[in-house]
Amino acid sequence: MGVCASSQASKEGGGISRPSTVKIIHADGRVQEFKQSIRAINILSQNPNSFLCSLESINLDSQMPRLAETEELQPDQIYFLLPLSQSHTHLSISDLCTLAIKASKALSKLEATSFPNGHGVKLRPSLGGGSKIPARTDRIQMSSQLGRGNR
């Protein structure tokens, strides 16, 4: 049972596109982004009492797999930088929820800096002024009155 998350915003036709980056979420919730792949040793040498694990390799009720120092961190991937003291503990549902919340908050901050209005992407005017498309569909609410006046 792996955990996977991704955050990407783009517009077809060469408009808005968020570049692929390596994302490292620190234990304190801080995020580091790298535009190119980077070796784990570069991060670990600056954080000697920590280990890296890939979000995609985390499994419930097992130890968090530590990345080898020689491993290359890949763009479009999310990694956690955690204290070494957590490297031998089995991941509980509570631990998993804590990591998910940290990842969600960190990615929301990145999204907010990419799209400062926080609600959507302003498209180039084409036929009739600018339009907004919500960047996140979980924010869309439908009115129960919709369509009742046309009967």
Q: Which segment of 33-37, 42-46, 61-65, 133-137 scores lowest on mean pLDDT?
A: 133-137
pLDDT band at 42 (very low <50, low <70, confident <90, very high): very high
SS3 97: helix
Computed over its alpha carbons, how large is the radius of gyration of the chain?
A: 19
| Number of domains composing the chain | 1
The pTM for the full model equals 0.62
Residue 39 placed within a domain: yes
How many CB atoms lie under 10 A from the CB of residue 29?
12
Give CA–CA dist 116/119, Å, rounded: 8
Q: Which residue has the tokens 């600018």?
A: 130
The residue range of the domain holding 41 is 22-118
Q: What is the CATH number of the domain that holds 36?
A: 3.10.20
pLDDT in tens, 52-106: 999 888 888 888 899 999 999 999 899 999 999 988 888 889 988 888 898 888 8
Q: Is 86 exposed, middle or buried (0-12, 13-18, 19+ CB in 10 A)?
A: middle
